[in-house]
Amino acid sequence: MAKYLIVGGVAGGATAAARLRRLDETAEIIIFERGGSVSYANCGLPYHIGGVIPERGGLLLQTAKGFYDRYRVEVRLGQEVTAIDRANKRVTVKRLDSVDGGQASSGESYEEGYDKLLLAPGAHPTMPEADDEAKSQIFSLHTIADMDRVIDFIDQRQAARAVVIGGGFIGLETAENLIQRGLEVTLVQRSGQVMPPLDAEMAGLLHEKLKAGGVNLMLNSPIQGIHKDGDALKIELASGQSLSTDFIIAAIGVKPLNTLAVDAGLAIGKSGGISVDAQMRSSDPDIYAVGDAVEITNLVTQGKQPVALAGPANKQARIAADNICGIPSLYKGSQASSVLKVFEATAAMTGINEKLAKAEGLDYDKVYLFGPSHAGYYPGSQEMLIKVLFEKPSGRILGAQIVGQEGSDKRADILATAIRSGYTATDLTELELCYAPPYSSAKDPVIVAGLMIENLLTGKVSQFHWHDVADLPRDGSVQLLDVRTMDEHSRGAIEGFKNIPVDELRERLSELDQKRPVYLHCQSGLRSYIATRILLQNGFKARHLNGGYKLYKMFMQKG
């Protein structure tokens, strides 16, 4: 009878244990979990704080008793694996003196043997530097126990002010839910944007949503110190400003929990994650690792990185269990597909962003488009801004970012599937997606993105971007053309652009010089594309502004 030990529960460990049992009914399976809950929805923690998920029990996916009753898996809560003896295939386990929600015990240690060991210790949150007396009012939000501490503090202290440090997933979700709970919330971000997976211009759209939702957003605000100030905390910023708050939620990020693996001599990647192969096996053939603690392959770049997301952790756990039981199974990499709610907005992303494409030295370009959530003539259609990165000259889709409302997640999922499948722009144009006026358009925005990219790659059109406008020469060496209506032009225009509406362009070609290139724009990019085709077929060199005046104004003239 085989014996499988699992270090850590939640997404990775609990999923692996259930899969192992389904594949091997006779094995002895033990999960060691240092906390008080074996399987819970940590992605839902902010929403219970905000009251959106009213029942705490709804976050508990499985209990230790439930695991044993259904799977005959033994779950040892409040017990921490502290060492691995690889030579003798044994682990040292410490019974913790106290555990939030778990079982109090003696603090003594014992050993347990294994045939196969699976590590799913997760990651630990990074905490800000602070004076010792201030630390009791600084919280992370990583476990059920963390959530309970935050709620208890708010209730017992009748806290009214909170500062959230960090603008990633947890930071933004927590800020929104603290607002929902009625608190005054300030979000402090060290860099110039929230949500690092988004490119800066797309993240800027979320900045507006946060402010509109009541969050006091402070960007480019490194923290120099945190200390007690009476019953409150005082936060000193590098700018010289200071903030006063009742408590702090630290959402700075997480680091792989690798101490156990390091001490055991397992290979560790440059990011600090445990190195694993495609079978989720570590450098020891009898030890597997999954989840936030491992370093995996980026599906697009083939580089190595940690990905702290529940979806990849669940997939890795299943694959590891398959291989432990002798079923060949491979994890081919992650594209870090994710979605985020920010008040009424949705931000979704998949694949790589432009920052990483540049860092990797990829030959790429991008298209932006404003797409409707469903047919514009059907009531309630909402606009989403879609950014798609593609490789030149292959047209392979590298990444996508979408900020909108209804339908944003749906389009991101389609593009995520395309990236996973290695699709090119031409493949996007050939998709046959479900259509009815309440749900989509006859030409879905994803298909339109493919058509736009295909036009670029086949030379039917050339483009320039919103960030190129300022560098266009105004000395007459090029011709700048606005093909919107006169009324649109009069209500706002880019300096130096002459107005010739697209519907008049054929009759007014004589006003343009074929010897000088033409740079043109419309409101969103469609009419300028049509105008570019007219000019190219009449002997002009022309390129149009991708995303049009609307995108330019959104990114260059806001705030």
| Closest C-alpha to 233, from 221, 223, 219, 218 | 223
In contact, 91 and 112? CB cutoff 8 Å: yes
C-alpha distance from residue 3 to each of 24, 87, 113, 264, 481 (Å): 10, 16, 8, 20, 73
Three-point CA angle 39, 40, 41, nearest 5°: 140
Helix (H), strand (E), coil (C) string for 102-124: CCCCCCCEEEEECCEEEECCCEE
Q: Which two tokens stand for residue 258?
A: 């690798």
Q: Considering 43, 325, 434, 522, which one is annotated as catalytic?
A: 43
Whether 43 is catalytic is: yes
Residue type, 194: V
Sequential DSSP letters for 56-84: GGGGEEE-HHHHHHHH--EEEETEEEEEE
Contact predicate 230/244, CB 8 Å: no
Rg (CA), the chain: 27
Residues in contact with 473: Cβ distance below 8 Å, sequence separation at least 6, in sequence order: none
The residue count for the chain:
559
* Dihedral of the alpha carbons of 396, 399, 400, 401, in degrees to the nearest 10: -160
Backbone angles phi, psi at 209, to 5 degrees: -65, -40
Spatial distance between the Cα atoms of 119 and 8, rounded to a whole number of angstroms: 7
Element holding 386 (H helix, E strand): strand 383-391
Residue 381 neighbours by CB under 8 Å, 6+ apart: 372, 373, 374, 375
Virtual CA dihedral for 22, 94, 144, 148, nearest 10 degrees?
A: 160
Tell me 285's DSSP state. Answer: T
Q: Which residues are catalytic?
A: 43
